[in-house]
Amino acid sequence: MLRLLADENIKRALYRSLAGHRPALDIVRVQEAGLSGQADEAVLAWAATEGRVLLTRDCASVSDPAYARVAAGLPMPGVLVIRREFGLGPVIAEVLLIAEASEPDEWKDRVVWIPLNS
């Protein structure tokens, strides 16, 4: 199962819903990790150290630092960007499916928009 880091822009309702649907889901909020207000570079560095795929709604500021880590040869466990036009239900289903049915190496060095089939 993937280990996830929920970015600051992930609403508490989504975080709670994910954890409520799958209590075994290993998801930590940026706020719980002491990273509130930190630059995306610091968040990505922490995610890499902890082996956590970043779950975010903000591709605009996260994708460049994520790809910069890859270009520099630094670890980048992956970024899942939630499309803004999708509601809570489809996003929960997609994140849980990804977390449970994939391996961490599948997301390494990638920035991917979810839901995937959109």
Q: What is the pLDDT of residues 68-86, one digit of tens each?
A: 999 999 999 999 999 877 7
Over residues 26-46, the mean pLDDT reads 96
Q: What is the pLDDT of residues 2-27, one digit of tens each?
A: 999 999 999 999 999 999 999 999 99
**Peptide bond connecting 115 to the previous residue in cis, omega within 30 degrees of 0:** yes
pLDDT of res. 118? 54
Handedness of CA 13, 98, 102, 73 (dihedral sign): negative
Q: What is the pLDDT of residues 98-114, one digit of tens each?
A: 999 999 999 999 999 99
- 3-114: which CATH number, 2.40.128, 1.20.120, 3.40.50, 3.30.70? 3.40.50
pLDDT of res. 117? 67
Domain ranges in the chain are: 3-114
